[in-house]
Homo-oligomer: A and B are copies of this chain.
Amino acid sequence: MKVAVDAMGGDYAPEEVVLGAVEAAREYKCEIILVGDQDKIMHSLNEFENWQELGISVHHASQVIEMHEHPGAAVRKKKDASVVVATRLVKEGNCDVVISAGSTGAASAAALFGLGRIKGIERPAIATPIPNLTGTTVLLDSGANVDGKPKHLLQSAVMGSIYAEYILGMPNPRVGLLNIGEEETKGNEQVLSTYPLLKQSHTINFIGNVEGRDISKGTVDVVVCDGFVGNIVLKFGEGLASAIMQLVKDAIKSSGFLTKVASLMILPALRRLKKKLDYAEYGGAPLLGVDGGCIICHGSSKAKAIKNAIRVAKEFTETRVVDHIRENIAKEGIITNGNE
């Protein structure tokens, strides 16, 4: 397995990206190509004595796409941008997956232009694993597309189900449509028209509409929604979880003169909880539906998140997620086009 890592993407690039890659190379025994400014990458790499023996190499790219740039325009204009070059390595068969913690829009655009879409997929979707009370829920689309049509949500459902089954190891994952009520008659036009498509699907285990409060309960494995809703939900959850953890800390600190003892006793437990809620543990979100591997990381990814993204990339490749999507989307095509 060979991974192309955009070494210039993210708030802590290239240092943390390089560190994550070194740790992943040690642990997962995979080949890693770090793409970006050769001098800067080498500067970070040379901190590690034996990096040459780990299967890591460097591929120079002279440009970087910044966060504020228009993704599509930047990808077209900057042919030598790190994320564009890394994606090209996958396109040309030199790597299996590309990973980037840079602009999500740019990584998506590079994958869309560079790798193309799987036959039958009109809109790729970002699938984000989020923690729930008992394990993980996959939310998609978490921001690749807005104003999607019902068939795009069906495609997301099929892809999310495969992701949950093969990457998260959930047999026959329960797929729910995110809505404002459980009844089939509830919702906006988009979900009202999506419901019958999901109900007719032969490749997913559709359990009906789910509400916002179901996401954290662990009663649904794959939550399907439009990218506008998904992105807002995801960022709200991130902000709320961090706010509550802050309030818990404040509450403990203000709980009286025995506080210090109490804090010391429960801090390890809180740290474990924080780890459970930490996106970095989940290692990036795949852009599903493009014809190749593309894992998108949070902009504030540090080494741990990059390392975990490389683990996800490995699983993504080894379990042949792209092939499974191709097969199941073909089956859905038969259904939605009326058995032709």
A interface residues (Cβ-Cβ under 8 A, vs B): 132-133, 143, 146-147, 178-180, 187-189, 191, 211-217, 225-229, 231-248, 251-252, 254-256, 258-259, 261-262, 265-266, 268-270, 272-273, 276-277
Give the Cβ gap from A294 to chain B, nearest Cβ, in Å: 19
CA distance A8 to B332 in the complex (A): 47
Give the Cβ gap from A68 to chain B, nearest Cβ, in Å: 8
Contact of A236 among B147, B179, B213, B265 (CB under 8 A): B213
Q: Which residue of B lies closest to A246 (CB)?
A: B133
Instruction: Assess whether B187 is in contact with A228, with CB atoms less than 8 Å apart.
Output: yes
Q: A259-B265, A262-B265, A265-B255 are in contact. Are A247 and B213 (CB under 8 A)?
A: no
Instruction: Assess whether A228 is in contact with B188, with CB atoms less than 8 Å apart.
Output: yes
Contact of A212 among B133, B234, B270 (CB under 8 A): B234
CA distance A179 to B143 in the complex (A): 11
Enumerate chain B residues within 8 angstroms of A247, measured Cβ to Cβ.
133, 273, 276-277
Instruction: Assess whether A231 is in contact with B243, with CB atoms less than 8 Å apart.
Output: no
CA distance A146 to B193 in the complex (A): 14
Instruction: Assess whether A272 is in contact with B251, with CB atoms less than 8 Å apart.
Output: yes
CA distance A191 to B229 in the complex (A): 12
Enumerate chain B residues within 8 angstroms of A235, measured Cβ to Cβ.
180, 211-213
Enumerate chain B residues within 8 angstroms of A269, measured Cβ to Cβ.
251-252, 254-255
Instruction: Assess whether B266 is in contact with A251, with CB atoms less than 8 Å apart.
Output: yes
Instruction: Assess whether B228 is in contact with A212, with CB atoms less than 8 Å apart.
Output: no
CA distance A212 to B15 in the complex (A): 29
Give the Cβ gap from A210 to chain B, nearest Cβ, in Å: 10
CA distance A148 to B300 in the complex (A): 34
Give the Cβ gap from A277 to chain B, nearest Cβ, in Å: 7
Enumerate chain B residues within 8 angstroms of A245, measured Cβ to Cβ.
244
Enumerate chain B residues within 8 angstroms of A179, measured Cβ to Cβ.
232
Chain A to chain B contacts (Cβ below 8 Å), 25 pairs: A143-B180, A146-B180, A146-B187, A146-B188, A147-B188, A180-B231, A180-B232, A211-B232, A212-B235, A212-B237, A213-B238, A213-B239, A214-B239, A216-B239, A225-B232, A228-B229, A244-B277, A247-B273, A247-B276, A251-B266, A251-B269, A255-B269, A261-B262, A262-B265, A266-B266
